[in-house]
Structure 1
Amino acid sequence: MSILPISEAIIRHNSNASSYSRGEEYSRHRAVIDLKKRGNQIQAAVEGSEIKPYQVSINFDAGGITSVCCSCAYDYDGWCKHIVATLLTCVRSEAEIEERPTLQQLLNNLDHLQTQSLVQKLVEKNPEAIDDVELFVSSINLPPDPTKSPSPKRRTKIDVAPIRSQVKRILRDGLRELEYGSEDDPFTEELLAVVEEAREFAENGDGNNAITILEAITSTYAQEWDELTNYGGDCYSIAEPLNRAWTEAILCAEIPVSEVADLQIMLESWQDEIDIDFSMSLEALRQGWNYEPLQQVMKGDTSTQLWADTRPDFANDLALIRLEYLERQNRYTEYLNLALSEGMTQQYLTQLAALGRIDEVMSAAQTHMDTVETAFALAKILREEGYLSETLEIAQAGLNLPGKNIYDFAAWTSDLAQELNHTSIALNAGIIAFEERPSFRDYTKVENLAGEIWEEVKQDLLEILRESENWLAKEAKVDIFLHEGLIDDAIKTVKKDTYYRSESVHRVMQAALPHRPDWVINNAVIRAEEIMNRGKADRYEDAVKWLKKVKAGYLQLGQQAEWSNYRASLEYTHGRKRKLMDLFNELNKP
């Protein structure tokens, strides 16, 4: 096996035809330089169109690629050509990979004084890194206190005057844009950035200053509310983030009992005044962390129900915020108890996996894993922790569950199983992926996996394709039917749906010429005459392209005279359209 656990088939599957072809060319011309392997990471530089080579980083495990990164700007369909070139070089020219020590191995060779010297030199080059050094040192010298936030709190109360001014400026500027008739949202992006500042305080354990900021934001917003509504402004885009931020702040703040009622009155007042639902924030304020049912639930009392009456719509969101807080404080037992009680299956299972409690994970998954999304999240965690057989077991079970993310999960499972040489699992997952979102790329992948049983599997895939109503399958139908020589199926596909791009229809016509020239003529005539009759001058070139197909169809039938007569009738009808007539000269070319 290659030093990198990946096949050319997987590389081809994760890149489009263009990036694969260009990547193969780069690899062949030795554009991949400085190729190094450090543990489970491949690093390379790839010479391209820029002066500086592109930097490629690839992480992998025994199951294949886990992540890829390239410094180029490519962000389209699959892996870029630089990543493809690097991977192909690894697979085809393993001798070019230079084995280098990992960071841990390098550090193991240094004594105490040498390590200090290295850190000092790195900080000299990047002075801001000293904050990271300080944080690391404090974390190993001072064990986390589960009753306190992990980050030091600000000792002084933040000055909110600049924040009030900022919010007022955002709203006033937005109002001016609305006055000038702007239809874009002039508020949300900047307001959410201010709300995010409050959330950062809350995440660092400083809920009191987070509340101070949120009070400034919300009160200023309320002061401008009447004028906002007069010009068509609304609060819908920031209502949910603001409510969440208030909830987070309340749950990590130290609020004196004497101030709870005042904060409640403020929230209720704003709720009525600016039409924002603060129900979740108010419930967090009412319950806090000392709410008796909550305490019992976090202690593992399975008989206690957190919601005695009807479970509110915000219950899951509130539970997630509480779980995030408990995780930041390393209070994992309470986290797991709350997650299980609140039915947060994904959070419960993935946290168990992150804690390395694999036997419990596998047992709990049998009864609690209920969606594709949960299975996918759990499988990723297990893979990251190196439990590959357990990962495949979860993945297989998860493919039978309901969910919205079936395609991505099935494709991920298929790739992993293929690299682990579990061909039957890879094939089954590949078929599920194709059924969910048919594509030519997945079709050829299943073909490679099926081997001797391909003819049997192919008929099933073709039937899936014919019956698929997924709009993403439209181009796949043309690609696959033409690939298999199923011309009548390809014709039916483009005939019954006007969606198809002209490029696809031209491909079908070209393939159909020897078999169905009559269809080519009739279909191309309709498309060309629709453009010409409506005088769409900017599309005359398209009309002539369709007429070339008409001509080809007549010639295929040996009806040169019929073509000449048809062309003459068009020239008679459209003779005054000079641009069109000039383009008709293209029809003289063979």
Structure 2
Amino acid sequence: MAQKHTRPEILRLSEADIRRRTTGKTWVRGLQYFQEGHVLRAVWRGATLTAEVQGSEYMPYVVHVSFTPEGNLQTATCTCPYEGLGDCKHIVAVLLYLLHHAQDVPQRASLEELLESMSREELIELIHQLAAAHPEVIELIETFRHVPRVENSVRSGLSPEVDVAALVRSLRTELYQLAQAYLYYDPDAFEEELPFTELFDPLLEQVQAQLAEGKPREALAALETLTMAWQEACRDVQVEWLIQTGLLEDEPWLQKLGMLWAEALLSLELSAEERAHWIRRLA
């Protein structure tokens, strides 16, 4: 059964916290959006708040804000095309709404709870409806269907004590702190060694051991898990701020990750179907 993540009892969020997450101009626009009532249909689903914000387009933008169990802001994303530094005005407006109207936000079932309550027939019908409305879902299903199957105990490819969700949370935290330092021009934050090698080295050592033991498929599963964890953390933290600095290009663990991917794939005699799968997956 999926782990349940509920709305935090206490939110550790202040107006100063929200202002620090964005630029001065965007803060003013977000405050104006909040005061003019642009935030619509805010709901909690588990530990994630979802809200619509009426912007300049006909369709509202959708903002997702998630929190740790301790009530600390973890991620904030928006469907708008904003490419500036920090949070967009829609996220600012939603955070201000949450700060001032937390008691008015209803709690709804999370995705995990909704899916677990459905029968097999209902899930199949749901997938058919999604595929009819969004044909790209069919490609996602095909890709998922061809992921090589391994035993549940090693499905992630990593040892059972590795908490992948905790790894993603740690990565998000480190990336966000670096992004904030870049946003506020704090050069001291970049003089020390970046923390990612320390986080990933023990995990990459597991992959190296798997390859040494002649277990390339387990190594591939582990590499896929680690790569997806990194992608998820980067996507949620708007890592383009850090890409502009060039800091991530020379990360030792990223170079090692690429070498291990090559070694694992070259250690296998892949069928045509498997080659096609990994080409799609790596792309």
Q: TM-score when scaled to structure 2?
A: 0.51
3-state SS in 2 of match to 1:93:
helix
Equivalents in 1 of 2:59, 2:138: separation in Å?
A: 29
Please say if residues 58 and 67 of structure 1, whose CA atoms lie closer than 8 Å, have aligned partners that are also in contact.
yes
1:58 shift after superposition: 1.9
The Cα of 1:380 is off from its aligned counterpart by 7.7
Deviation at 1:82, TM superposition (A): 0.9
User: In the alignment, is residue 24 of structure 1 matched against residue 18 of structure 2?
Assistant: no
Question: Whose radius of gyration is greater, 1 or 2?
Answer: 1
Instruction: Provide the residue aligned with 2:167 in structure 1.
Output: 381
Separation in 1 of the partners of 2:27 and 2:131? 41
Among residues 112, 133, 155, which one is paired with 1:104 in the alignment?
Answer: 112
Kept in 1: contact 2:21–2:180 (CA 8 A):
no
CA contact (8 A) 1:2 1:94 kept: no
Selected match of 1:123 from 125, 131, 138? 131
Over residues 18-48 of structure 1, what are the superposed CA-to-partner deviations in whole Å (9 max), with x where a residue is unaligned? 2112212211221100111111222111122
Match of 1:89 among 85, 97, 111: 97
| Residues in 1 aligned to 2:13 and 2:80: alpha-carbon distance in whole angstroms | 22
Which structure dedicates a bigger proportion of its chain to helix?
Answer: 1
CA distance in 2, matches of 1:110, 1:11: 38
- Quick one: structure 1 residues 126 and 50, their matched pair in 2 at CA, closer, same or farther if it must change by over 3 Å? closer
Aligned to 2:68: 61
Aligned residues of 1:5 and 1:62 also touching (Cα < 8 A): no
CA 1:382–1:127: 2 relative to 1, 3 Å = closer
SS of 2:52's partner is: strand
Structure 2 match to 1:143: 149
Q: Distance in 2 between matches of 1:410 and 1:32?
A: 25
2:80 is the alignment partner of 1:78: no
* Counterpart secondary structure, 1:9: helix
Q: C-alpha distance in 2, partners of 1:79/1:31?
A: 16
Show structure 1 runs of 4+ deviating over 4 A: 1-4, 329-332, 409-412
Q: CA deviation at 1:434?
A: 5.1
Q: Percent identity?
A: 28
- RMSD over aligned Cα atoms: 4.0
Check the 8 A contact 2:39/2:51 in 1, yes or no: yes
TM-score (structure 1 length as normaliser): 0.26
Query: Whose RCO is larger (CA < 8 A, sep 6+)?
Result: 2
Structure 2: tracts of 5 or more residues without a match: 1-7, 190-283
The equivalent of 1:40 in structure 2 is: 47
* Aligned equivalents of 1:107, 1:385: Cα separation in 2: 28
Distance 1:118 1:410 in 2: 40
Q: Judge conservation of contact 2:22–2:88 (CA < 8 Å) in 1.
A: yes
**Cα offset for 1:113?**
1.6
1:71/1:331 Cα in 2 relative to 1: closer, same or farther (>3 Å)?
A: closer
Relative to structure 1, the CA distance from residue 3 to residue 90 in structure 2 (aligned partners, 3 Å threshold; closer, same or farther) is farther
C-alpha contact 1:36 1:99 (8 A) present in aligned 2: yes
Q: Is the strand fraction higher in 1 or 2?
A: 2
Q: What residue identity is the alignment partner of 1:105?
A: E
Question: Cα offset for 1:14?
Answer: 0.8
How far is the alpha carbon of 1:71 from its aligned partner? 2.5
Gaps of 5+ in 1: 146-328, 333-351, 359-377, 396-404, 413-429, 438-590
Distance 2:88 2:129 in 1: 35
The code of the aligned residue for 1:77 comes to L
